[in-house]
Structure 1
Amino acid sequence: MEAAPTAAAGGAAEDGLEVVVFPWLAFGHMIPFLELSKRLAARGNAVTFVSTPRNLARLPPVPAHLSAGLRFVPLQLPPVEGLPEDAESTADVPADKIELLKKAMDGLAAPLAAFLADAVAAGRRPDWIVVDFCHHWVPPIADQHEVPCALFQILHAAFVAFLGPRWANAAHPRTEPQHFTVPPKWIPLPSTTFFLRHEAEWIAGTLRANASDVSDAERTWQVFERCRLVICRSCHELEPRMFALLSDLLRKPAVPSGILLPLPEAPDDHRQSGSGGVARHQVLRWLDDQPPKSVIYVALGSEAPLTPENIHELALGLELAGVRFLWVLGKPAGSNKVAGPLPAGFEERRRTRGVVCTGWVPQMKVLAHGAMGAFLTHCGWGSTIESFAFGLPLVMLPFIIDTPMIARAMAGRGIGVQVARDENDGSFDRDGVAAAVRRVMVEDEGKVFATNAMKLKELVVDEGRQEQYIHQLEEHLRRYKDV
């Protein structure tokens, strides 16, 4: 084994906290953990961000004024049979290998224990370790060094409540997909926390053991039970009664971090996209030539299970809708190719009013552009939060995890519509895509969605209010570290 990394972060003020953060190996988790780390460091706390070497190298740069209070510690991921070489995040593996990645991550127990022992021996015992949903093995290690753990859920609080702790699931067992098609009995509030039948198989699968030998539900329940504090990436303005309910349900404080809206990319960041993509400046230049509010941005994330048929129907639906579009057609995780070819003749027909990218684009800058009129999204919580910053109405095409619930919640707020799906298998077609896009972008109803989206922006995107959430979280970390 390599020598253990040196002690925890330096650079804190005298009364600052020493915090170690350790996210799951997915960039959809690492980026919110990094945003939380930056905000804690900005308040004079010392933060150590732990991950694997390749993941740390791929994180966006940290502002220079935070470098003294935010350090990065690499832990070498052990090899696991069946896991591709150099695979260190979910972006590096296909969906069927993610459980092997969890097994590899479990192999970080010894390096993490050595890191903590080193920190304690150097007189730098962390005040907290902030862990993710899958780190069920971290609290026992932390206990050996008298370091409390907090769970940071990058998800909205309603979905955390829907998952529920072990005791609630034991009192009201849910073992089959149909059991998840209604809100759980422990959520008495009027709620969109349920899955449709075609969505429920994923959540039922979290109860089953997988290639990592531990089910996701078991991982989460153990972390719930062993952590001292639960933090959710949300705020009271979005979920006004959920945090009190969640605190009662988990029998420990559940507190909001605020939405942790990421800052735009630095202006000198000129990364190029992958093969077939469009360079950063070209995307923005194309948008410069479009009329105000005329373009719909289409991005379904890197982990949405798109099939070739899905891509065909989405493409033809955008064509039928007759609107300008910027479509980021990402490659599936672990693949160098998109999920399937575009329909014959599509690229030639759309050339004057649509751009299809297969590489990286600066999403925040795209969403901020004056030509942008709406966002066709899978409703990942991170992307949904980013849409709040610019008051964009949504066309919603959710797939897995919490995205269907987020889509229903946003539809309930009147800021967009979902693409119509078949109730049995969840399939959609070009007509459903076109109808949803036109409702938001073309028809009079779209003005209502746009107005509601701007009202939500005004409610949620308030720098002073969001900073207050970080202040209150910091107070909780101080209050509960010695309980």
Structure 2
Amino acid sequence: MAKTHDSLHVVMLPRLAFGRMLPYIELAKLMAGKGHRISFLSAPRNIDRLPKPPPDLASLISFVKLPLPAVEHLPEGAEATSDLPYDKIQYLKKAFDMLQEPIAQFLESSDPDWIMYDFASYWAGSIASRLGIRSVFFTILIGAGSGFLGPSWALKEGDYRKTPEDFTKPPEWVPFPTKVAFRYFEIKKIFDAVTGNASGVTDLYRAGVAQESCDIIALRSSYEVEPEWLSLLKDIHAKPIFPVGQLPPGDPETRGETDSWPSIKEWLDGQKKGTVVYVAFGSESKPSQIELTEIALGLELSGLPFFWLVMLPNGFEERVRGRGVVWDSWVPQLKILAHDSVGGFLTHGGWNSAVEALSFERALILFTFVADQGLNARLLEERQIGQSVAESLRPVMVEEKGRVYREKAKEMRPIFGDKDIQERYVNNLLNYLKERRPVKHLKSKGITI
């Protein structure tokens, strides 16, 4: 891990959402492990809440705290999407946009080789270009999600898809048969991404400008999972496309003990192998009371043992006492998923959760809420890797007709959890970043061009 003359300095600027920041952190650790220096930019409380890198990488990953300006309707202390109800997230975007000048000043003073940014900071590419810094639009969307959203013109112009119904079918630029599209209720929940919000800029426009103004596009994907979608992205974008792999989680045992783990482990140890349904919907998804009731009834009727991380409807805990565990505080998710008694994961379809589950051969039951979760779910369903809705619990977990989902989960483990595959994707990206770093940096380091 010794630093050499071709070590890079990369700035990372993810969206203010833990579902976005965590994959950036995983990639940062992989890059730092090869001797490259990372500056990770976010709001102060987010940085304090992020997992710390291992000691051998701590000197190469610098966390830079950028205080958010006060914005009307944005509660004090709210610095990530998980701190807010959905209708308040628009004010977080507005505050984030006001960081353009501090970020430009940091880039100018630190003089990195590259910046990696998400769709929310759609202005980062043009700032970098003005300063002679190369840029990567690193989207957390998988290939199917990025391909469904499409080329920059379709995102920026706003007249290709105007109604929720327009998003419930594959777009014209997808040349192969696919079921990847939103269901009506999924796009209806997030249609402000199309119509606009308090920041004055739609999410679609942000994504269009972000991918248009960068030098290259990177995404959390791999050819082993979605080759046709990655080929499509090469066709619709006139710039290099780099999948960075699935960014699987590390060894659960390296995450350390928590106060809650011993009692959780004791309960899991008492269950039969592969019978427990782990239920969690991430920090970004906030089920309504109706949705909570629907999920609770599905779990109750399934007759399966379960561990649910949630606040529950009145009376539910009493009715399932002895069969299910309800937990309302943080749990070590990786350790739970790695436990032999867990056979399936009832999840919102966020890709972080899907990767973690499939890394441990856990079957997926999908209950989508917001953002790109519906598109993820369609791809997983299409590949028969996951099945939607809570009513599918017994078939996916224990019945013969659901065997295909359990078998597919086993097939996916070598793909989602293989360290050699992951290494290959990161090396491919890093080789390009080193070859195409700005000329000024090559000259300053005494490298012949």
Matched-pair contact (CA < 8 Å) for 2:158–2:194: no
Does the alignment pair 1:230 with 2:213? no
Matched-pair contact (CA < 8 Å) for 2:10–2:112: yes
SS at match of 1:231: strand
- In the TM superposition, 1:33-48 aligns within 5 A as 33-48=24-39
**Equivalent position of 1:372 in the other structure:** 342
Matched-pair contact (CA < 8 Å) for 1:168–1:186: no
1:203 deviates by: 5.5
**Equivalent position of 1:186 in the other structure:** 173
1:67 deviates by: 1.4
* Deviates further, 132-141 or 367-376: 132-141
Does the alignment pair 1:404 with 2:374? yes
Does the alignment pair 1:293 with 2:286? no
- In the TM superposition, 1:437-456 aligns within 5 A as 437-456=393-412
For 1:265 and 1:373, the matched residues in 2 are separated by 17
Quick one: which amino acid aligns to residue 318 of structure 1? L
**Equivalent position of 2:128 in the other structure:** 142
For 1:445 and 1:158, the matched residues in 2 are separated by 27
1:408 deviates by: 2.1
1:302 deviates by: 2.5
**Equivalent position of 2:147 in the other structure:** 161
**Equivalent position of 1:201 in the other structure:** 188
SS at match of 2:433: helix
* Deviates further, 446-455 or 55-64: 446-455
For 1:371 and 1:266, the matched residues in 2 are separated by 17
1:416 deviates by: 3.3
1:204 deviates by: 4.0
Quick one: which amino acid aligns to residue 477 of structure 1? L
Instruction: Show structure 1 runs of 5+ residues with no match.
Output: 1-10, 120-124, 273-278, 330-337, 420-432
Larger helix share, 1 or 2? 2
SS at match of 2:194: coil
Closer/same/farther in 2, CA of residues 267 and 235 from structure 1, 3 Å limit: closer
For 2:95 and 2:288, the matched residues in 1 are separated by 28
Does the alignment pair 1:352 with 2:322? yes
SS at match of 1:241: helix
Matched-pair contact (CA < 8 Å) for 2:19–2:284: no
**Equivalent position of 1:94 in the other structure:** 85
For 1:240 and 1:41, the matched residues in 2 are separated by 28
**Equivalent position of 1:308 in the other structure:** 289
**Equivalent position of 2:68 in the other structure:** 77
**Equivalent position of 1:58 in the other structure:** 49
Closer/same/farther in 2, CA of residues 137 and 459 from structure 1, 3 Å limit: closer
Q: Per-residue CA shift, 1:125-169, capped at 9, x if unaligned?
A: 211000001112222322231001101111101111111223245
**Equivalent position of 2:227 in the other structure:** 240
For 1:468 and 1:405, the matched residues in 2 are separated by 26
SS at match of 1:34: helix
Q: Per-residue CA shift, 1:203-243, capped at 9, x if unaligned?
A: 54322221111111111111111100111101001111222
**Equivalent position of 2:416 in the other structure:** 460
Quick one: which amino acid aligns to residue 35 of structure 1? E
**Equivalent position of 2:359 in the other structure:** 389
Does the alignment pair 1:175 with 2:162? yes
**Equivalent position of 1:322 in the other structure:** 303
SS at match of 2:409: helix
Match of 1:20 among 11, 15, 19: 11
Matched-pair contact (CA < 8 Å) for 1:378–1:396: yes
1:202 deviates by: 4.3
1:197 deviates by: 2.3
Matched-pair contact (CA < 8 Å) for 1:233–1:260: yes
Quick one: which amino acid aligns to residue 91 of structure 1? S
1:304 deviates by: 2.4
Quick one: which amino acid aligns to residue 214 of structure 1? V
Q: Per-residue CA shift, 1:167-212, capped at 9, x if unaligned?
A: 2455981111111111111111222321222223245432222111
1:394 deviates by: 1.4
SS at match of 2:178: coil
- In the TM superposition, 1:237-276 aligns within 5 A as 237-265=224-252, 269-272=256-259
For 1:408 and 1:215, the matched residues in 2 are separated by 24
Tell me the TM-score normalized by structure 1. Answer: 0.87
Which consecutive aligned stretches of 4+ in structure 1 deviate over 6 angstroms post-superposition?
none
Closer/same/farther in 2, CA of residues 74 and 362 from structure 1, 3 Å limit: same
Quick one: which amino acid aligns to residue 245 of structure 2? G
Matched-pair contact (CA < 8 Å) for 1:12–1:46: no
For 2:18 and 2:253, the matched residues in 1 are separated by 19
For 2:116 and 2:351, the matched residues in 1 are separated by 20
- In the TM superposition, 1:276-291 aligns within 5 A as 279-291=260-272
For 2:158 and 2:49, the matched residues in 1 are separated by 43
1:305 deviates by: 4.0
1:267 deviates by: 5.0
Quick one: which amino acid aligns to residue 302 of structure 2? A
Instruction: Show structure 2 runs of 5+ residues with no match.
Output: 440-449
Quick one: which amino acid aligns to residue 217 of structure 2? V
Quick one: which amino acid aligns to residue 398 of structure 1? T
For 1:391 and 1:220, the matched residues in 2 are separated by 33
Identical counterparts, % of pairs: 41
SS at match of 2:121: coil
Closer/same/farther in 2, CA of residues 348 and 171 from structure 1, 3 Å limit: closer
Matched-pair contact (CA < 8 Å) for 1:40–1:470: yes
Closer/same/farther in 2, CA of residues 266 and 77 from structure 1, 3 Å limit: farther
For 2:383 and 2:255, the matched residues in 1 are separated by 37
For 1:30 and 1:200, the matched residues in 2 are separated by 24
**Equivalent position of 1:67 in the other structure:** 58
Closer/same/farther in 2, CA of residues 202 and 308 from structure 1, 3 Å limit: closer
1:410 deviates by: 1.5
Q: Per-residue CA shift, 1:76-135, capped at 9, x if unaligned?
A: 11111111111111121111110100111111112112212222xxxxx21100000111
Quick one: which amino acid aligns to residue 215 of structure 1? T
**Equivalent position of 1:132 in the other structure:** 118
Quick one: which amino acid aligns to residue 291 of structure 2? N
